[in-house]
Structure 1
Amino acid sequence: MTDPQPKAGETILRLNDIRKVYGDHVALGGVSLDVKRGEVVAIIGPSGSGKSTLLRCVNQLEVPDSGTLEVLGSNIDFAGRVSSADLLALRRKVGMVFQSFNLFPHMNVLRNVSFPQERVLGRSREEADKVSRDLLERVGLASKMENFPQKCSGGQQQRVAIARALALEPQIMLFDEPTSALDPELGLEVLAVMRRLADQGMTMVVVTHEIHFAAEVADRLIVMADGAIIEEGVPSELLAAPKTARAKQFLSAITDR
């Protein structure tokens, strides 16, 4: 059975009352979030606020203790066991880019992008390589296809990781602080690629410390603290006049540095 095609503006990602606890630590205390098709949502907040855990719960790298997740019409209730079929279907719809690049060091750039397509989508090597070359050109790495990761800069490696995720044709992209391991100049390369993706209508949820990127590119800004969403709104309005004391405290700390 094929999933229904989402309409413009339709909610394609819905988290309802997601809870995740590690021992005595409540990482997520019942978080709910809707994301519409084509929307760019930026998530900011202090360390330990649950931002990365939230993304990892969407992609099922962490399994929530309770709550429900809906992705493009497919529902998962964490009160029961998630089947391997549901997990595979979810990860084919949702791509993720991490802080670390996680590239295969023994494969060149082209193979790093092609190999997952062959394994996950069943493409032939020729088909996968054609997709990979197109994507590597899109992220500005056409000249690096034969290079191995260690011969690429950090910014280039992260752009390879983005191309690899896009090659699996996800409808939603998750970014977990993709520039945090990079110096500012290399980070700008990655942000430029992400801006182009946003301009092309990719649905994106971005955990970031790049406030300028969030302000300029995101349609919605979310502030998290202590495992909860404490405030959300239009980036320019929220950054200029946060309503909660905790959001004011956090934004003051990062803008005054």
Structure 2
Amino acid sequence: MQAEAAGTDAGRAEARPLIVLDKVVKRYGTHTVLSGIDLEVHAGNVMAIIGPSGSGKSTLLRCINYLEPPSSGTIMLDGIRLEAGRATSRKDLALLRRSVGMVFQSFNLFPHMSVLRNVSLAQERVAGRSRKEADERSMQLLSRVGLADKAHQYPLRCSGGQQQRVAIARALALDPKVMLFDEPTSSLDPELGLEVLAVMRELADDGMTMIVVTHEMRFAENVSDTVLVMADGIIVEQGPSAEVMRNPRQERTKRFLRAVNDRT
């Protein structure tokens, strides 16, 4: 009986979501960008967030890692609980940031540092690794994204797709529990964008928990497990990717997907 109970407890632990958002609101003055977002993301899940411009998608990502503290509501990530309106300890905030890797639309690489230093620097300053340890880890990650040969070049000598892959390697360097991607291919031409999407697909195949704000509808349907549709600061629809993309239930989702399909 004890073994059975232990097995049940383990199953419950595995079923517990990695990320929970409870009634998250974000306001800028009198303008409400997010209106009471409730969300759960389980470990290993890949969630694609789609929707029209200005719907709050990027703001939602920035609230999850507290780059933009919510106006109200609670964010929990793997036992770390941050509640808007209450003082956030530096320890909890550091744990949250260490647990979340983020890749932006712009690459945000240091132009005066080599690709290798761009990936190693945070490991030394945040994770406390020696330069040798950090460089070894960086080379592993650069090999993973196909850029080991670019380690000693400067970012400006790399293509846009290569720079974004460096940014992904940098975000992975602190061994995050979840990766956030904010339209990582939006500033790239289609061919370079495919390079980045291929890396993201490999991360998904390896079981990385990912939340991806994207305008790549094929990625949303074929790579993600769940699609979340946002409009006007709320979640209008959420479900299994193929189901939402092929047979949306909500009229707002249908209208958005029609507009996307008409452009392509």
If the TM-score is normalised by the length of the shorter chain, which range does it land in? over 0.9
- From 210, 223, 236, give the equivalent of 1:204: 210
Whole-angstrom distance in 1 between the partners of 2:13 and 2:61: 23
Whole-angstrom distance in 1 between the partners of 2:16 and 2:175: 19
- From 234, 243, 251, give the equivalent of 1:228: 234
1:16 aligns with 2:39: no
**How far has the Cα of 1:7 moved from its partner?**
5.3
- From 171, 176, 188, give the equivalent of 1:170: 176
- CA deviation profile, 1:86-126 (whole Å, cap 9, x unmatched): 11110010110000000000100000000110000010000
Whole-angstrom distance in 1 between the partners of 2:133 and 2:245: 45
**How far has the Cα of 1:83 moved from its partner?**
2.0
* Counterpart position of 2:224: 218
**How far has the Cα of 1:9 moved from its partner?**
4.4
* Counterpart position of 2:89: 83
- Letter of the 1:243 counterpart: R
* Counterpart position of 2:4: none
Whole-angstrom distance in 2 between the partners of 1:10 and 1:194: 24
CA RMSD of aligned residues (A): 1.3
**How far has the Cα of 1:69 moved from its partner?**
0.6
**How far has the Cα of 1:85 moved from its partner?**
1.7
Equivalent position SS for 2:36:
strand
Whole-angstrom distance in 2 between the partners of 1:74 and 1:81: 14
Conserved 8 A contact 1:7-1:37: no
* Counterpart position of 1:149: 155
Whole-angstrom distance in 2 between the partners of 1:139 and 1:70: 30
- From 42, 47, 55, give the equivalent of 1:49: 55
1:36 aligns with 2:42: yes
- CA deviation profile, 1:196-217 (whole Å, cap 9, x unmatched): 0000000000000000001111
Equivalent position SS for 1:37:
coil
TM-score scaled by length of structure 1: 0.96
Whole-angstrom distance in 2 between the partners of 1:10 and 1:188: 33
Whole-angstrom distance in 2 between the partners of 1:102 and 1:119: 17
- Letter of the 1:139 counterpart: V
1:128 aligns with 2:96: no
Whole-angstrom distance in 2 between the partners of 1:253 and 1:82: 42
* Counterpart position of 2:9: none
**How far has the Cα of 1:243 moved from its partner?**
1.1
- CA deviation profile, 1:46-97 (whole Å, cap 9, x unmatched): 0000000000000111010100011001111113122222111100101100
Equivalent position SS for 2:18:
strand
* Counterpart position of 1:3: none
1:114 aligns with 2:96: no
1:55-70 aligned within 5 A: 55-70=61-76
Equivalent position SS for 2:105:
coil
1:184 aligns with 2:190: yes
* Counterpart position of 1:72: 78
Higher radius of gyration, 1 or 2? 2
Whole-angstrom distance in 1 between the partners of 2:257 and 2:88: 38
Conserved 8 A contact 1:9-1:38: no
- Letter of the 2:76 counterpart: E
